[in-house]
Amino acid sequence: MAHSLPPLDYPYDALEPYISGEIMTLHHTKHHQTYVNGLNSAESAYASASTPKQRIALQAALKFNGGGHINHSLFWKNLAPSPEKGGNGGQLKDGNLKKAIESIWGSVDNFKKEFNTTTAGIQGSGWGWVGVNPGSKRLEIITTANQDPLITHTPVIGVDIWEHAFYLQYKNVKADYLTAIWSVINWDEAEKRFAEATA
């Protein structure tokens, strides 16, 4: 069955002033759509490939477009309008996730600082993650390159660090984008993923 672009749970301009409506529109309707199209065509070519060599030749396209589709689908759910716009963005309630963050990083602010420092260090395009290590059940900050999905951990929060995610608004100042994004992080979604990963 073909993959399709998942609808957003909020209007394109609902994350302003932190992420502009122009970025959200292009990011969702153009960039994410391109990964969906690329995944569908790679899967259909894979299905009709008749030799191992033909199937191996499709691995890179499957990884890139499949990762792009998986990562962006997670990312949209990870975002929510801020309270000024009637949403719950940026609001981390008392609970198990907050407790886990405070026990590892000392405070939520320290966690954000470390996440942003690690993520700002990505060379080129990639993703910043906080995920649950399936062995230890502990939260860890991880980065992946390109559109590689997070497969070593269960993702709790993923942040797109491709220039297409911020350049129109923040230009080259990735640090300002990373500071702003915490105002529209959907912590309720993160809490749900954390509960599932640690159950």
Nearest to 129 by CA among 120, 121, 140: 140
What residues have CB less than 8 Å from 8, skipping those under 6 apart?
Answer: 24, 28, 76
With beta carbons less than 8 A apart as the criterion, state whether 101 and 156 touch. no
Q: Which is nearer to Fe ion, 10 or 194 (CB)?
A: 10
Query: Least separation, in Å, of the C-beta of 162 and Fe ion?
Result: 5
Q: Residue 170 interacts with Fe ion (CB under 5 A)?
A: no
Q: Which is nearer to Fe ion, 25 or 133 (CB)?
A: 25
Q: Which of 76, 139, 160, 193 binds Fe ion (CB under 5 A)?
A: 160
Q: Which is nearer to Fe ion, 162 or 177 (CB)?
A: 162
Was 72 annotated as part of a binding site?
Answer: yes
Burial environment of residue 134 by CB neighbours within 10 A (0 to 12, 13 to 18, 19 or more): exposed
Instruction: Enter the tokens of residue 3.
Output: 């993959």
Was 164 annotated as part of a binding site?
Answer: yes
Nearest to 120 by CA among 106, 141, 104: 141
* Distance linking the first and last C-alpha atoms of the chain: 31
Token match 């002033």: residue? 17
Window contacting Fe ion (CB under 5 A); options: 54-62, 86-94, 162-170, 185-193 = 162-170
Q: Which is nearer to Fe ion, 101 or 161 (CB)?
A: 161
Window contacting Fe ion (CB under 5 A); options: 8-16, 42-50, 153-161, 172-180 = 153-161
Window contacting Fe ion (CB under 5 A); options: 1-9, 53-61, 158-166, 180-188 = 158-166
- Known binding residues for Mn(2+) are 27, 72, 160, 164
Residues that bind Fe ion (CB under 5 A): 160, 162, 165
